[in-house]
Amino acid sequence: MVNTSVTLCGLPMDNPIIPASGTFGFGYEFADWYDINLLGTFSFKGTTREPRYGNPTPRIAETASGMLNSVGLQNPGVHAVIAEELPRLKKVFHKPVMANVSGFSEEDYVYTCQLLDKEPQVGWLEVNISCPNVHNGGMSFGTLPESAMAITKAVKAVTTKPVIMKLSPNVTDIASIAKACEEGGADGISLINTLMGMRLDLKKRKPLLANVTGGMSGPAVFPVALRMVWQVYNAVSIPIVGLGGVSSAEDVIEMMLAGATAVQVGAANLVDPYACKTILEDLPRVMEQLKIDSLSEIIGGAH
Amino acid sequence: MVNTSVTLCGLPMDNPIIPASGTFGFGYEFADWYDINLLGTFSFKGTTREPRYGNPTPRIAETASGMLNSVGLQNPGVHAVIAEELPRLKKVFHKPVMANVSGFSEEDYVYTCQLLDKEPQVGWLEVNISCPNVHNGGMSFGTLPESAMAITKAVKAVTTKPVIMKLSPNVTDIASIAKACEEGGADGISLINTLMGMRLDLKKRKPLLANVTGGMSGPAVFPVALRMVWQVYNAVSIPIVGLGGVSSAEDVIEMMLAGATAVQVGAANLVDPYACKTILEDLPRVMEQLKIDSLSEIIGGAH
Amino acid sequence: MKKSIFTLRSQNEIAPRTFELVLNGDTDDLDKPGQFVNIRIQGYYLRRPISVCNVTPGRLTLIYKVVGSGTEVLSRMTVGDELELLTGLGNGYDLTAAGDCPLLIGGGAGVPPMYLLARKLAEAGKRLTVILGFNTAAEVFYEDKFKALGAKVLITTVDGSAGIKGFVTNAMEGLDYSYFYTCGPGPMLKAVYDSSATEGQFSFEERMGCGFGACVGCTCETKYGNKRICRDGPVLVKEEIKW
Amino acid sequence: MKKSIFTLRSQNEIAPRTFELVLNGDTDDLDKPGQFVNIRIQGYYLRRPISVCNVTPGRLTLIYKVVGSGTEVLSRMTVGDELELLTGLGNGYDLTAAGDCPLLIGGGAGVPPMYLLARKLAEAGKRLTVILGFNTAAEVFYEDKFKALGAKVLITTVDGSAGIKGFVTNAMEGLDYSYFYTCGPGPMLKAVYDSSATEGQFSFEERMGCGFGACVGCTCETKYGNKRICRDGPVLVKEEIKW
């Protein structure tokens, strides 16, 4: 019998599999497909202080082995998330959930995190300082060590639960940003958010996305994500949540060997609603093939 | 009859198709497959002051819709390039060639560019400040506006031919680097070099590449390349050579609509030696379908 | 909603670049007109959503137009090939609002979902009028199939090479109907909205990520808040639509 | 060097996860033992290089082991399927150095290229000794085929379940030969290098980008400078090798 359990920032998880924010809604959509309590946890849709419609459509484009999205943080706002989404989730999911938070100012982050920190259903706060699809905010916090540290400190000052900072890959030096978050008191780092890309409509001679650029995800970005997890593992001593193109049990193990304590699965959920379930079913067999008894023992094992 | 001709930094080209440096050797290998005079030009293997063996093998790994390489600028050195490679090339290629240059110091770049600038076969100097596979140099020049400008100025001071600066995508703000090159006197910008990535060997639990990380190329990176060409087109007024995952005539047109005056084809040459020939054969048909009479008229047409 | 494997039974080009694809598989979740399936195509990351044209137990008919390299690959598939589908996606049309003599209006790629709808309404004993809009005579398909259901069929073509010259709205003038259902390109839907005399239901298209409500890629604003075209739609009622 | 389409004629699993693939196509550029082809596999970016096991006009035989998902896909292809190959890659073995009684040493995935070499040498009237090394008896293949060429065949297995227990070098002890040719995993080649009594030729493996000399991904150092395994190799002579 193989052991898939891991501990992320002090909280035990049955397995390291976490559907990524923005690909799993508030969970109950996927409960129509399978029992989502099989998962380690999931990270819910990026939540902001105020409700957001997001960007105009089209918001989706295809790429080679991947996709672009420019959803732009559509969400009902933190108050509706607490009043409506969490109670609905409670009926179908009985584990601590990862609360994903975005903002446009330090105060936004503080406000939203403070509220979600008090919710008993929330196990971790994942603070997204890396959304490429919103102007004046989001990603800009994640591209400078100073602002990354400032947001981390501000959120840590008002919360009690583990704070995981979610980083952008669209930077020159990912390790310096991760280190700044660690110095600011972060309990963990998750990476990567999407790579900024775009596509054109050749007939219309215009960008395919109404927002012009979007975030690229899917297997295409996996090698970049793996490289950054590797670099951040060398730079910090807090746990890392690895994500970016993960689509199979083998990818999960590759991410963990590079340094991830837990692994998020994003775009794969969108092209196959059973993606995470399949990964969980495949994991024991792949672990046995690779002579892995316990997943927690391989974290960073390729260094 | 459609018109595929373009002018790159003052030099006319029959068409905008340029095999990218590192995927086309010094040209004559491909002359075994087809008449390489069909091409607009090609960019020869990155040349340094001294001969280089490059990195240990394995240097190649596969990714979803792409590949990693960590060749690390293997080349015979500028003196052997001038004494042996260019004369051999002269027999099979009768157009101005693009001379790709790398270095580990400002003096290296100056030395190598000065020599190649004097070669009558050379039409353009492409100065690579973005190789991800060499330590202490290459990419580091391309990740800061100041050093990018310094190299540009130093090379421009000793050369007469158009200087095209080749940029790394592994940066937070590609536009600022491009602008610095323009201010330094660059005649053009080429982008993107490879995205830094890695893969692991799950059985050995070690990186697949002996150099640990490598540069990712192939269709997977096309949307990132297109986005950066778009951003740089908005930032500078010198011509752009677009590259990164280009594999078809449609991709060429997409790059040109985003702002590229000419288009390099890289990894595609490695998986299909006829890639550029096929693109050239397809271009007139695709242009007609899209109602394009002249390629030079669509440059930046999607802005 | 289900994920399952279908087997290609037949594929025919019924109009230029327009293919009728008949699949065998599990159709349990496919009974509602106006729903769609999402097809995985080898070599392409995102699935291709295609609306259901007809369904009988174990047999699914889809009609699609080749618009890119993904549908091009689909069009080259042959008898016996297997396809992985997500089925039972979308809300579908509400038939209870039809009244006695509903009007169905399909334009181009919006014609196929009208067929299953017409069949169900005919089975319910309704007197049907169907308007099918195309660009030109060569593109016309399924006219006889709709007639075989007992519907009064009006064809429109932009160039006048078949039926009434002009748009579907030209054929709507002077018609008497209890309710309407429509599917087609955005500008056509807007024109139908402006020309229609009764309440009705509209099926929308949008670029989708997942097709089952997870990614919110295909959101639109309605008078009653944001709706996901893939899950809360693709059918919206006239009254809630914001243009 | 050529790029052309081959059609799958047969495929058989001749040992666990080891497949013999017979293709029909243009073999004009495929006559030299020790060369390889580079196969495009649907869904994978890089081609898979596989050494030529045998060739007759219009018919090519390859033997490969399933080592990952790319070769897994290849192993599931069936009669009539088409494959795009680059053929005539690599320098191949030089037969003129063989002498009267050459020794051929193949280990595991290095056995297949020994077959065409043995056939050509046999046709040239040489007295052949062939050593074939495997891990265990179940993995042994082509023993009879080599015997049918008139070669003296020695089998070695690491676990001793067939032939001589141990490595190919155990079988080399005491043998008399004029020259040798070898192909197999790196450690085996090094052991052969150290144990061999004559000059010889070694065929190397390396991860390749293109397979035809463009990307210099597979460079190795030799006593006479850098060589590309794919183009200047895969065969190197004993004398130039640096370990």
**Which residue segment(s) compose the domain that B164 sits in?**
6-297
- Contacting chains of B (3 CB pairs or more, <8 Å) are A, D
Q: Which residues of B touch A216 (CB under 8 A)?
A: 223-224
SS3 B35: coil
Q: Which residues is B298 bridged to in the sheet? A: none
Asked if the C-beta of D213 comes within 8 angstroms of chain B's C-beta atoms, the answer is: yes
Calpha distance B37→B19 (Å, rounded)? 12
Q: Give the minimum alpha-carbon distance from C235 to chain A in angstroms, rounded to a whole number.
A: 17
Residue B288 lies in a domain: yes
Percentage of residues in chain A having pLDDT higher than 70: 97
In single-letter form, the type of residue at position D210 comes to: C
Asked if the C-beta of B24 comes within 8 angstroms of chain A's C-beta atoms, the answer is: no
Q: Give the minimum alpha-carbon distance from D133 to chain B in angstroms, rounded to a whole number.
A: 23
Contact criterion met (CB below 8 Å) for C141 and C18:
yes
- Contacting chains of D (3 CB pairs or more, <8 Å) are B, C
Q: Which residues of D touch C42 (CB under 8 A)?
A: 42-43
Asked if the C-beta of A250 comes within 8 angstroms of chain B's C-beta atoms, the answer is: yes
pLDDT at residue A134, rounded to an integer: 65
Domains of chain D with CATH codes: 2-89 (2.40.30.10), 102-200 (3.40.50.80), 204-243 (2.10.240.10)
Calpha distance B200→B196 (Å, rounded)? 14
Asked if the C-beta of D43 comes within 8 angstroms of chain C's C-beta atoms, the answer is: yes
Average per-residue pLDDT for chain A: 95
Q: Give the minimum alpha-carbon distance from B150 to chain D in angstroms, rounded to a whole number.
A: 30
- What residue in B sits closest to D43 (Cα-Cα)? B65
- Contacting chains of A (3 CB pairs or more, <8 Å) are B, C
Asked if the C-beta of C42 comes within 8 angstroms of chain D's C-beta atoms, the answer is: yes
Contact criterion met (CB below 8 Å) for A22 and A60:
no
- What residue in D sits closest to C43 (Cα-Cα)? D43
Calpha distance A273→B77 (Å, rounded)? 53
CA dist list (Å): D215 to B195, B219, B269, B274, D39? 17, 17, 9, 15, 17
- The answer for residues whose C-beta is within 8 angstroms of residue C146's C-beta and 6 or more apart is C114, C115, C118, C130, C132, C153
Please count the residue pairs, one from chain A and one from chain B, whose beta carbons lie less than 8 angstroms apart: 125
CA dist list (Å): A68 to A65, A207, A262, C137? 11, 12, 24, 38
pLDDT at residue A140, rounded to an integer: 76
pLDDT tens sequence across C58-82? 999 999 999 999 999 999 999 999 9
| Parts of chain B with a pLDDT under 70 | 132-139
Whether pLDDT at C6 is above 80: yes
CB contact under 8 A, A200 and B302: yes
Name the residues of B annotated as catalytic: 131
CB contact under 8 A, A257 and B202: yes
Residue A204 lies in a domain: yes
Task: Out of B64, B172, B302, name the one closest to residue A220 (CB).
Answer: B64
Asked if the C-beta of D76 comes within 8 angstroms of chain C's C-beta atoms, the answer is: no
Average pLDDT over residues C91-108: 96
Residue A303 lies in a domain: no
Q: Which residues is C105 bridged to in the sheet? A: C131, C182
- What residue in D sits closest to C44 (Cα-Cα)? D43
Closest CA to B60 of D230, C54, D170: D230
Q: Give the minimum alpha-carbon distance from B99 to chain A in angstroms, rounded to a whole number.
A: 27
Residue A48 lies in a domain: yes
Asked if the C-beta of B71 comes within 8 angstroms of chain D's C-beta atoms, the answer is: yes
Q: Which residues of C touch D73 (CB under 8 A)?
A: none
CB contact under 8 A, B62 and D212: no
Closest CA to A256 of A266, A246, A270, A267: A246
Calpha distance B242→A13 (Å, rounded)? 46
Specify the pTM: 0.96
Average pLDDT over residues C95-119: 96
Residue A208 lies in a domain: yes
Asked if the C-beta of A301 comes within 8 angstroms of chain B's C-beta atoms, the answer is: yes
Q: Give the minimum alpha-carbon distance from D2 to chain B in angstroms, rounded to a whole number.
A: 8
Asked if the C-beta of A64 comes within 8 angstroms of chain B's C-beta atoms, the answer is: yes
Residue B183, H or E segment = helix B174-183
Q: Which residues of A touch C49 (CB under 8 A)?
A: none
pLDDT at residue B29, rounded to an integer: 87
CB contact under 8 A, A270 and C226: no
Whether pLDDT at D175 is above 90: yes
Q: Give the minimum alpha-carbon distance from D43 to chain C in angstroms, rounded to a whole number.
A: 6
pLDDT at residue D18, rounded to an integer: 97
Asked if the C-beta of B269 comes within 8 angstroms of chain D's C-beta atoms, the answer is: yes
Percentage of residues in chain C having pLDDT higher than 70: 100
Asked if the C-beta of D69 comes within 8 angstroms of chain C's C-beta atoms, the answer is: no
CB contact under 8 A, A29 and C46: no
Q: What is the CATH number of the domain that holds A168?
A: 3.20.20.70
Q: Give the minimum alpha-carbon distance from B179 to chain A in angstroms, rounded to a whole number.
A: 17
Q: Give the minimum alpha-carbon distance from C43 to chain D in angstroms, rounded to a whole number.
A: 6
Task: Out of A65, A199, A301, name the one closest to residue B205 (CB).
Answer: A301
pLDDT tens sequence across C137-166? 999 999 999 999 999 999 999 999 999 999
HEC letters along B185-246: CCCEEEECCCEEECCEECCCCEECCCCCCEEEECHHHHHHHHHHHHHHHHHCCCCEEECCCC
Structure tokens at A226: 């793996």
CA angle A67, A69, A73 (to 5 degrees): 150
CB contact under 8 A, B230 and A253: no
Asked if the C-beta of D212 comes within 8 angstroms of chain B's C-beta atoms, the answer is: yes
- What residue in B sits closest to A207 (Cα-Cα)? B302
CB contact under 8 A, A58 and C207: yes
| Parts of chain A with a pLDDT under 50 | none
Residue D22, H or E segment = strand D18-24
Number of domain units in chain B: 1
Task: Out of A202, A205, A250, name the one closest to residue B202 (CB).
Answer: A250
Rg (CA), chain A: 18
- What residue in A sits closest to C219 (Cα-Cα)? A57
Calpha distance D236→D92 (Å, rounded)? 9
CA dist list (Å): B201 to A250, A258, B62, B75, B205? 10, 11, 11, 28, 5
Task: Out of B63, B143, B298, name the one closest to residue A223 (CB).
Answer: B63
Torsion over CA of C69, B197, B69 and B271, rounded to 10 degrees?
Answer: -10
Q: What share of chain B is helix, strand, coil (3-state, %, to 5)?
A: 35, 20, 45
Task: Out of A63, A227, A301, name the one closest to residue B213 (CB).
Answer: A227
Residue A1 lies in a domain: no
Calpha distance C156→C152 (Å, rounded)? 13
Name the residues of A annotated as catalytic: 131
Torsion over CA of D59, D65, D67 and D73, rounded to 10 degrees?
Answer: 40
Residue B252 lies in a domain: yes
The DSSP letter of residue D76 is T
Residue D7, H or E segment = strand D2-15
Q: Which residues of B touch A197 (CB under 8 A)?
A: 223-224, 226-227
Calpha distance B96→B123 (Å, rounded)? 4
Residue B1 lies in a domain: no
Chain B contacts in chain A segment 222-241 (CB below 8 A) = 222-224, 226-227, 230
Structure tokens at B273: 């030696």
Chain A contacts in chain C segment 33-92 (CB below 8 A) = 40, 44-47, 70, 86
Chain C contacts in chain A segment 217-256 (CB below 8 A) = 218-219
HEC letters along A98-126: EEEECCCCHHHHHHHHHHHHCCCCEEEEE
ipTM of this predicted structure: 0.95
Chain D contacts in chain C segment 168-187 (CB below 8 A) = none
Structure tokens at C97: 């609002």
Calpha distance B21→B85 (Å, rounded)? 14
